[in-house]
Every structure is written in structure tokens, then in C-alpha cells.
Structure 1
Amino acid sequence: MGATVFDLRPGVGIGPFSIGMPICDAFAQIEQQPNIYDVVHVKYHDEDPLKLDIVISFPDHGFHLRFDPWSQRLRLVEIYDVKRLQMRYATSMIGGPSTLATFVAVYALFGPTFPGIYDKERGVYSLFYPGLSFQFPIPNQYTDCCHDGEAALPLEFPDGTTPVTCRVSIYDNSSDKKVGVGKLMDRASVPPLPPGSLYMEEVHVKLGKELYFTVGGQHMPFGASPQDVWTDLGRPCGIHPKQVDQMVIHSASDPRPKTTLCGDYFYNYFTRGMDILFDGETHRAKKFVLHTNYPGHADFNSYIKCNFVISVGESEAEANRGGNKITPRTNWEQVKEILGECGPAAIQTQGSTSNPFGSTYVYGYQNVAFEFRDLAEMINASGLTLAPPKFHFLWRSHRFGTPQRSSQALAVRRDAAACPLLQRACLALSTQRSNAMIVRAMSASFGDMSDDSSAVFPRINVKDPYKRLGISRMASEDEIQGARNFLIQQYAGHKPSVDAIESAHDKIIMQKFHERKNPKIDINKKVRQVRQSKVVSFVFDRFQTPPTAFLVKTAVTFAVLGALTVLFPTEEGPTLQVLLSLIATFYFIHQRLKKKLWSFLYGTGSFIFSWLIGTFLMVSVIPPFIKGPRGFEVMSSLLSYVLLWVASSYLR
């Protein structure tokens, strides 16, 4: 991971990720470089996707991408572990394990700026540049150097140390807002879209009549021909036949023979968040499917979000005055207030293997059907505490609509019940039976892509069996079997793909069996477990690396004391040198802590501990190298000087 260098662009972004980019473009960048972005987490609020940011996290690189939940555009890049991310600004490096992002280094690289803001409650000082901010933790003993609110921070503390960056924020600088941690994080906003941009274009819907695209000014009526659609919207991203009409059994009024054959076909406009269904006989548009692209739906990232506005009323002006508008923000209770009650919902489910996100619920009205998610969960989960579930999150390329890769996603839940948000709207002409409209709305927008026998497994040539199945090496047997079953179902029609999946599965199973038969001790894992234990972590937290100048000063002092002890031994022993070492310990610790009581306690404890350890080592472990009547005392003193130097220089 350390070999990857990300270009730091204040106010613009980091690496290939730019402020204001849609979330689908971010996923496309991730898909293009799977070796760099090997571990990706997607986090969102499961019950109310509009409440919190959609976050794409890269734990191996130590940074987040925060997307505005409504527009699904990048508003903030948050680097939370600067030691893991090697950044390049112009021609200089900063961050990463080798180049500490200290206050001095930041000031030297980015130049002077205005005084920052000190958050006394969090103990963090924020330094701001246009579109860029750095956060520095301030130790408790130096809080007097800063005042709550706007304040200047000295380049170095009284002991010569300089604060090290704990967090970096990159955001749009057009609004001239200061973005940092806590409440300051909410100030980051997405930049305005360029004039004429089709992203999040408002699509006004007149039920049973037409769609109106506000940016381009196109009118798309029911009954439009494919030529009309190509002329107004351009070439579709995909054309997929609706090979099987699985819901025809529910439509008693359907005049066609009750067979499983269907000549209808879809135009997929992934970049506009919609599908258009054409009748296979008349070749006229008979249904529009508008997608909200909320996370937690099986089609997430297959489409860009469609920003539709459905006006309900005798006229659009009347609907606007009365507020009777249905948008992607509208929840089910609001839909019922506008359109009234309707019959029971039809349940659409594909099973947990094909769709780990659960069932959706489709409600039908005249000329329109709505699909919602988690309705049953909302009814049953009121007042309960739900644990955040983990599952494999499937995203699709919005250009092709085919599965690309999987990543772990975390859905953040809350106790309070909430109304489900609209997942997609299906617009159709009036039918004689409402249930026929509902079930037709439930048919797949992609036609039958999941059953496409020509689909080829994209990782068919990947040698690593774990990467081929898209799982980690720590995956359980259930996860391995689940990944195998899911991929076999997706690519069942392509024998080489099935063989590659089965081969990877067999290799992993045999490897697991061999590991159980011949268990090996993972030294790295054991060391990592020891390092992460509470006791060892507490010990390591008691030490910190001081500046080089301070290290040299303490080392020279104790080296001189050691030389005096060896060169000028006395019959009474090195009493004077030992006393000087105790005074030096008090002095150096006080220089760093600036607290007399703590300096005395730390110094006394270090002195007693060092002499006990030195005496023990000389008696039990180390033979005396220095001959003479006081050789034992001299060697004990030298060992004590080394331990006192460590305590004076590194003890926090």
C-alpha cells in the first residue's frame, strides 16, 4: 500500500477522486484499479438514506469519500489516518509511514495562512487553507498555548516537539467555508453543476401522458417510437429484450396467448436513471421506469439517480400550489396522503443469494406503480435495537449494467422507525385491472439479464482463488460457499466461467482442509494480536518520539556521565555521577511535561526502576566486563544511564 502515491489537490480532490463527482464515477474509478482499491467499504443509513452521507471507505489507505445523500455527489474527502496515505503536492511528498505530516512540514510545504481554530472540547487545532484543512491533536499539557476559538498555534511546543497531523479534509473552496472536524464537517457542500449539465436533471411527469426533461426541453409521450426516443435522448446505454414475462399469469385481461414468450424490449438509459419499455408488436413506448438509486436496493449503482417530479392534480399549476408532488424524497406515508389508500402490496423477491438486500414492495395506482423497500421491517422493528448487518454489496457499472465486483458494505441502522423511501416509480397507461399494472411493474427492467447465457465471468483468468471468488482469506466456509453459489447462478450459461469458479472454490476448500490437518502458527498474526492487546497498547501509548535535537541533547548528557563513571572510578563508587543522572532525568522530563509534580514522580520512578533492572541484569544475566574493585557498581550505573536516557527522552 505504501507504494501508491495520491496527488493532493486542495479544493479539487485526491488522486482520481474529484469534489463534485457522482458516486457512479467513483465506483468506476475503483473498478478500473482493483489492485489498488482491494478493500472497499460502503456505509449508509439503512432506514433513512437521506439522513447521513453515503461513505466509501478505503481502510487500507486511511481515507473516506463522503457523498451528499440527495445528489450523490462527492462533497468531502476525509483522510483519517495520514500515516497510511502517501500524498504528493506539486513535487513534494507528505504523509505516509516515512514522511510525517507535522505542523512544521505542513507550514513549510503550503506556506503561511490565517490563524486556525482550536476546539477545546475535542482538543484539536484546525489549520485552514483554501479547500484544505489540517487537524492537529494538542496534548493536555500544552492546551494553555491555545485559546478556544480562533487562535494561532506555535510551530513548536516548549519542549521542542511539533504537533503531527491526525486528519486532513479536502472540500470545495468556492463557498469560502472552513471545514474541519465535528460540526465544521457539515459545512462541506458539493460545488454547483456546470450550466447545461444533465446530471440530476428534473424530469416532470404527467401521469398517463408524458415526461418532460427540463434541461433539454424534450417531451417524451407514451406511444413514442424508438426513433423519437433516439432523436430526443440519444443512443441508449443498452437494449435488452424482455425474454420472459414471468408475471403474465396474473393478467387475466392480457389478450396474448398465455406463454412464457415476450417480444417486448427495454431501452436502458443508465446515465439518466430510467428505462423505457417498448411493445414488441407496435414498437411504441408503453412504460417508463424511473430509478432513485438509493443504497440498499439491488439495482444500486446500475443507474444514475433520476430526479423526477410527479405532479398530481387537474393541472400542474394546481399540483404545485397544493404541494401534491411526488419526488425521490417522498416516503410511503406521504404518497398515501397524496394519492389515497390502495390495495395490498405485491412482494418482489429474488432470494438472499441473488439479492442480499431483501424483498421490495410494489403498490399500484392508476397510471403509476411505486416500489418501496423494508416495509415489513419498518412495521416489526419499531422500538427495537437492530445490530448493523454485514453483507456483500454488489455494484454494477452504470454503462453496462452487469456485475463487476463485490465489496463489504455496512448499513447503519437506528432505533426509531421510519417510513420507507421510494425506490423507483413505474409509469404505465391505464389498465382494466390494477393488479396487472402492479405485476408488470415488477418485471425486471433489464429484461432477463440475470439469465443471460452469454455472460462471461470477468475474473475468469485471475490466478488467486480468493480474488477470483471476490472474498477475503479470512472468509468463513459459509461465505466461501455463498460466493460460489452466487457466481454459479450468475454465469451458469457459460461453461468456462463455471469451471473457473468451481476450480477456485475447490482450491480454497482443499487449502482449508490442509490447514486443519497441518495447523501452523502464524507468527505475524500472533505478533499483531500481542501488539493490539490492551496491556501492550497501554505501554506503547506511554512513549512518544521526541525531536532529533532533543534526542541528541539527552544522549550526549548521559554519554558524558557514562564516560566520567568509567574514566574516574572512586573507592566510594560513582555516587556523584548517579546523583547528576537523577538531576538530569528530572530536568529533561520537566522540559517535556512542564509539570513539576509529574516530573518528580516520573523521574523518581524511572530512577528506582532503572537501578533495580540494572542490578538484576548484572547479578543474573550480564557478567562484569569492567575489572576492578568497583566494576560491579560501574556496570550497573552504565545500564541505569541507558534506561534513564530512554525515560528522559521517550516517556510521555
Structure 2
Amino acid sequence: MTARAAPVQISPGKGLGNITLGASLHNVLTRVKSHPQTFPSIDLAYSSCDPLRKPVVLNLPSNGLRLRFDGPDQRLRLIEVLDFSKADLVYKNQDVLKSGKSSEPTTSPQGPSFRHVYNRLFGPSFPGEYVPPADQSPYGTYVLSYPGVAFSFPLQHSAWSEHCDFVALLSSSAALSATSMAIFQGSSWPETRVKLFTQQPQYPRSLAVVSKTRDSFADEIEEFHIFGSGKLEVTRRTSAPLQINLGETTPQDLIAEFGPPDAIYRKNDRRISIHRAAGGDALHLSPSPGRGMDIPDTDHSSNNSVTDDSDEEILPSSIGDPALLPSECFFNYFHHGFDAFISHPTTPGPAFPTSELPDPSPQPSASSQLTVTKIILHGNVPGSYPFNRHRRSRWAIHLDQSGNGLTSESPYDEISSQLRSVWKGSYANASEERAMQRPMVLNRGWGDSPESSVEFLGGWEETTSKGPRAGGDSHDGGLGNTELFGFPGLLFEVLKNGAVSCLTVY
């Protein structure tokens, strides 16, 4: 049994203690794992077939809590208390679980009685919702809703009637103490239930944004929009959209808009360079000689352990002085969900043939100015090796001016089909098209740490996986390989279930 912690304040419509509705899965899981004495047991449940569209559930059994996140954005939507005996809950300095003797009959002494909730804690309310038993149980469930919070009371099905006074009924011996409590964003549970995972969260992904002023903390990123030709637009929670032009945007521009990076790494490992275009036509992923595409480095530091010998951490004092930065390094923004590769200017990938943008102009090779030449967007897919290293980053690829495009939740088969159609006219023949779409297998399972090795096995290798991972602590004995697929200016890292784990834009 864990030591009893300080009382946890209930904030209807907002959160429970320091767990806030709207918080990102990355933010909540990172804070929970940093307090193992308070949260000794963590269980993460998700759909292994569709992890980006189905909800993700974080169970904290030792604390009697269950947290539900939506799949696409990984934001906290519902906080449930399933065992009132495992946490000291208070509401406006009033204990939720009434101490002392109780004359009310109950088979669930852990929960508060209806009288305690109705008379002492939250006061009068509109009639709630009765849910009949699904099996032969003699008890149904009466859900009593208040704005932002609801309680579930077992109620004898034989005693239920639509014409009964619900206060008298729930105060009688036919009702038991509450078995659970839910905290949500909305005026009532029946109204919120239908839009629980789709409505816009009121609160930000991180408590830091709430506790600090706008001037002292960078605004949250909502989504990256990719237009081709090295052009990206970043939409943010409150600030105006930001334009990133690869080969032009500087490290100082990033720092001004997103704050200092969480880490900076010099990249020394060049093992993937053997696959570059020179002398390697079979692995050259360009659809035409005029629209060349070298394979970018995929073993960026964000997907490697901080103890990886191929990476060297740069001191934070280097950030303010460009002269102290190495010629090639990664800016890691874990809480924003992306990395930026900093180097001398290079020519970005071409424009999409279906767009109205021109191809980018060649960058001067002799320029001494460091710029952003690649953006790496992390999916934070449950079950992947780099899970919870970054916050989930959402993106959309705009192939034309219609506004319709591919998104970070699109299965890769759908992404591949549309991109192959867009670039089809650039292939010399069907054989060249097949060769260029041959995947490379990226292994993240060999070495001293899960992300410390990059080995390319060839497009024919089968990946292995033995089950889901919870919070990055896997006992999976498989290789955990992912496949790399390339198009001009884009490189996709894809899991076995078709989810895009990482997108590199260059």
C-alpha cells in the first residue's frame, strides 16, 4: 500500500489535482512516471491496429484512476475515479468520502453516499440519467450530473420508475454509495458523452502554459501544414501562424518563436550515407533526374538514446551565439513534438506537381549562414520505440489548392496511393516506380538501448512485434523494425499497422 498523499482537489470541468483536462498524453505520462512513489503502477491501453484514431487509456490502479485520451491529438478528455479509497479527494475543503460511521446501507463503502454528494458537496441538480442493467444484475446505474462532474450510483432496477422523485429514490435503501466519479468538459455528462473525444479542449496541453505568462512561454503548436517546395506553416493555439522556409529560416528564428530547444545534439553518425544517390540508383528515391532526392539522415538524435555514442550534446550556452553552434546539429523540441536539423543551406525538395508553387531556387553552396534544412515531426504512436520521447505532432500535406490533403492520422497506404498518383508522371516506367517505392527497414531494437542502433536490412525483411508497450517500458523481444518510404521532400517512417511514426520534411 502506498503512503497516503496530500488531499487531491476536485475541479469540475478542469481536472483533478495537477492532472488537467486537455493535457497531452506526453505531458501526463512524463509527470506520472517521474513520481513512482505516488504512481507505482501504470498501465497504458490502446488499439494496436488503429492507435491514432481509437482512444488511449492510461490506468493508474494504485490510485484508483483511469484517464482517457483521444487518439488523433492525444489530449486528456475524461478523468475517472474508480476507487475512492485510494485517494483523499476534497471539493472546496470538504472531504468527498465522508469519514466516520454511516447508517446508510452500502456494499461499496469506499464511495460517497448520494446524500453526502447532494446535500454537502455539490448541492441540488437536475434529474440525471438511468442506465438499466445490461445483464441479469438487480442493479442499474443512475448517473447524477453536475457541470463538469458526474457520479454513478447503483440503483435497484425494481425500484426505478420515471415518475419517481429521484432525490427520494437515491436517498432510500434502494440506492448504494457512488461507485465512480467522472470529470469532463461540459454542462452535463449526457450532453458531453456524444462529443467527448471531438470537442475542442478548453485548457492547453501543458500546465506550464497555464502557470506562465504569454511572454515567458512559447505558444503551443496545433498543427504543421506542408505545402512542398520546402514551405511549412505552423498553426498555434493563440498566436498567428508561422512560416518556415527550409534553407532560409534560421536557428534564431526558431528560438524566437518556440523558445530555446530542450536539447541540442551534434550528429556524427553518417552510416546512412552509403545509401545516397551517388552510385546507388536502386536506392535513389527520386522520381526523375530533374527532381533529385537524396535520402536524408533518419537517425536523428531525437530517436536515439541520449547515451548514444553517435550523438554529442551541445551546451545550452551555445544557443545564443550562432558562432558556437556546429555546422550540423539537431534542435530537439520534445514538448512541441518536432526536431529541426540545422546546417548550411541546401536546396529543399521540389514542389508537388499538382500545386501552383514553383520549385525552390538552388541555395548558395558557399553560404556560412546556418539554416533549418529539415523538420522531423513525431507521431508519438503508442507501441513504437520512441513513444513518449516527444509530444504528438499533427500535420497535413496539401497537395493542391483545394484544401483537401493527407493528415498525420491517414494510414500510410492511403498516403502512398495519393503521393504515387501525384508523382506518377515523373517516373520513366513502372519498373522505376516499383524500385523507388521499395521500403528500407529501420531497426530500432538492437543495441544497448531501444533507439541506439540504426541498421538497414533491405526492403524484403519482415519486422517482428510481440505486443504493446506501456510508457516506453517494453518487455518486447522482437526487433521492432519500422519501414522507411520516400518521396521528393518527404520521408515516412511507418509501423507494421500502417501508422506513420515519423515524417521528415526536407
Partner of 1:550: none
Whole-angstrom distance in 2 between the partners of 1:79 and 1:189: 22
Give the direction of change, closer, same or farther, for the CA distance of 1:188–1:307 in structure 2 (3 Å limit).
closer
1:242 paired with 2:322, answer no
Where in structure 2 are the equivalents of 1:412-491 lying within 5 Å?
420-428=498-506
- C-alpha change, 1:61 and 1:148, in structure 2 (3 Å) is farther
Note the alpha carbon deviations across 1:159-203, whole angstroms, 9 max, x for none.
x57521111111113xx242599x679578553367998434232
How far the C-alpha of 1:25 sits from its partner, in A, is 2.3
Structure 1 pair 270/186, CA: closer, same or farther in 2 (3 Å)? closer
What residue identity is the alignment partner of 1:424? C
The residue matched to 1:334 in structure 2 has which SS?
helix
Give distance in 2, aligned partners of 1:11 and 1:125.
20
Structure 2 residue aligned with 1:117, among 129, 149, 152?
Answer: 129
Identity between Structure 1 and Structure 2 (%): 24
- Contact 2:224 2:396 (C-alpha < 8 Å) held by counterparts: yes
Deviation at 1:101, TM superposition (A): 0.7
Structure 1 unaligned segments of length 5 or more: list them.
Answer: 379-419, 429-652
Match in the other structure for 2:489: 367
More RCO (CA 8 Å, sep 6+):
2
Match of 1:253 in 2: 278
Aligned residue for 1:249, secondary structure, equals: helix
Instruction: Provide the residue aligned with 2:72 in structure 1.
Output: 70
8 Å CA contact retained: 2:221, 2:235 = no
List aligned pairs for 1:539-554, cutoff 5 A.
Answer: none
The answer on 1:203 being equivalent to 2:227 is no
What letter is aligned with 2:124? Answer: P
Tell me, in whole angstroms, the C-alpha distance in 1 between the residues paired with 2:28 and 2:98: 23
Contact 1:177/1:187 (<8 A) preserved: no
Aligned residue type for 1:291: H
Cα distance in 2 between the residues matched to 1:359 and 1:233: 32
User: Using a 3 Å threshold, how does the CA distance of structure 1 residues 252 and 71 change in structure 2: closer, same or farther?
Assistant: closer
1:148 and 1:46 map into 2 onto residues whose CA distance is 45
3-state secondary structure, aligned to 2:418:
helix
Deviations 1:297-342 (A, max 9, x none): 22222222222222124xxx25x2xx3x222111112112211165
Q: CA RMSD in A?
A: 3.3
Deviates more, 1:245-254 or 1:359-368: 245-254
| Alignment correspondent of 1:230 | 255
What whole-Å deviation, never above 9, does each CA across 1:7-52 have from its counterpart, x for those lacking one?
A: 1121111111011122222124314432111111111111111332
Within the alignment, does 1:326 sit opposite 2:406 as a pair? yes
Distance in 1 of aligned mates of 2:488 and 2:165: 59
SS of residue paired to 2:46: strand
Q: Write the distance in 1 (CA, Å) between the matches of 2:99 and 2:483.
A: 50
Structure-2 residue corresponding to 1:191? 201
Q: Which residue of 1 aligns with 2:338?
A: 274
Alignment partners' CA distance in 1, 2:166 and 2:399: 55
Contact 1:83/1:97 (8 A) holds in 2: no
Q: Following superposition of structure 1 onto structure 2, how do residues 51-450 of structure 1 map, counting pairs within 5 Å?
A: 51-95=53-97, 100-109=111-120, 110-122=122-134, 123-140=140-157, 143-147=158-162, 154-157=169-172, 160=173, 162-173=175-186, 176-179=187-190, 186=196, 189=199, 191-192=201-202, 198-215=219-236, 216-224=240-248, 225-251=250-276, 253=278, 264-279=328-343, 283-313=370-400, 317-318=401-402, 320=403, 323=404, 325-340=405-420, 342-351=436-445, 354-355=449-450, 356=474, 358-374=480-496, 420-428=498-506
| Counterparts of 2:438 and 2:164, CA distance in 1 | 56
* 1:419-467 Cα deviation digits (max 9, x unpaired): x122121112xxxxxxxxxxxxxxxxxxxxxxxxxxxxxxxxxxxxxxx
> Counterpart of 1:496?
none
What residue in structure 2 maps to residue 23 of structure 1? 25
Matches within 5 A, 1:522-533: none
Instruction: Verify the 8 A CA contact 2:129 2:190 in the aligned structure 1.
Output: no
What letter is aligned with 2:245? P
In the alignment, the residues of structure 1 paired with residue 331 and residue 221 of structure 2 have an alpha-carbon distance, to the nearest angstrom, of: 19
- Which letter maps to 2:171? E
Q: 1:193 to 1:166 in 2, by over 3 A?
A: closer
User: Once the 2 structures are TM-superposed, how far is the Cα of residue 65 of structure 1 from its aligned partner?
Assistant: 1.0
Q: Distance in 2 between matches of 1:150 and 1:277?
A: 65
Amino acid at match of 2:271: Q
Amino acid at match of 2:254: V
The structure that is strand-richer by fraction is: 2
Is the 2:111–2:180 contact (alpha carbons within 8 Å) kept by the matching residues of 1? no
CA distance change for structure 1 residues 154 and 139 in 2, over 3 Å: closer, same or farther? closer
Taking a change above 3 Å as real, the CA distance of residues 107 and 189 of structure 1, as seen in their structure-2 partners, is same
Kept in 1, the 8 Å contact 2:493–2:500? The answer is yes
Whole-Å Cα distance in 1 between the matches of residues 160 and 44 of structure 2? 39
* Conservation of the 8 A alpha-carbon contact between 1:332 and 1:372: yes
Counterparts in 2 of 1:63 and 1:221: CA distance versus 1, 3 Å: same
Task: Tell me the CA shift for residue 132 of structure 1.
Answer: 0.8
Question: Tell me, which stretches of 5 or more residues in structure 2 are unaligned?
Answer: 101-109, 135-139, 280-293, 295-309, 312-325, 345-365, 421-432, 451-473
Using a 3 Å threshold, how does the CA distance of structure 1 residues 238 and 149 change in structure 2: closer, same or farther?
Answer: farther
Mapping for residues 539-618 of structure 1, pairs under 5 Å = none
CA distance in 1, matches of 2:417, 2:9: 50
Residues 179 and 185, structure 1, Cα contact 8 Å, conserved in 2: no
Shift of 1:244: 1.3
Task: Assess if the C-alpha contact under 8 Å between 1:277 and 1:287 holds in 2.
Answer: yes
**Among candidates 9, 16, 21, match of residue 7 of structure 1:** 9
Aligned length: 366
CA distance in 1, matches of 2:174, 2:395: 56
Larger Rg: 1
Q: Distance in 1 between matches of 2:382 and 2:165?
A: 39
1:124 counterpart letter in structure 2? T
> Which residue identity is paired with 1:191?
P
Q: Please give the alpha-carbon distance, in whole angstroms, between the structure 1 residues aligned to 2:80 and 2:169.
A: 25
Q: Aligned partners of 2:163 and 2:52: how far apart in 1? A: 33
State whether residues 118 and 151 of structure 1, in contact with CA within 8 Å, keep that contact through their aligned partners in structure 2.
no
Tell me which amino acid in the other structure corresponds to 1:167.
S
Q: For residues 129 and 53 of structure 1, do their structure 2 counterparts lie closer, same or farther at Cα, with a shift above 3 Å needed?
A: same
Deviations 1:208-243 (A, max 9, x none): 322222343332212133334334443222110112
What code does the residue aligned with 1:192 have?
Answer: Q
TM-score, structure 2 normalization: 0.65
Give distance in 2, aligned partners of 1:166 and 1:193.
27
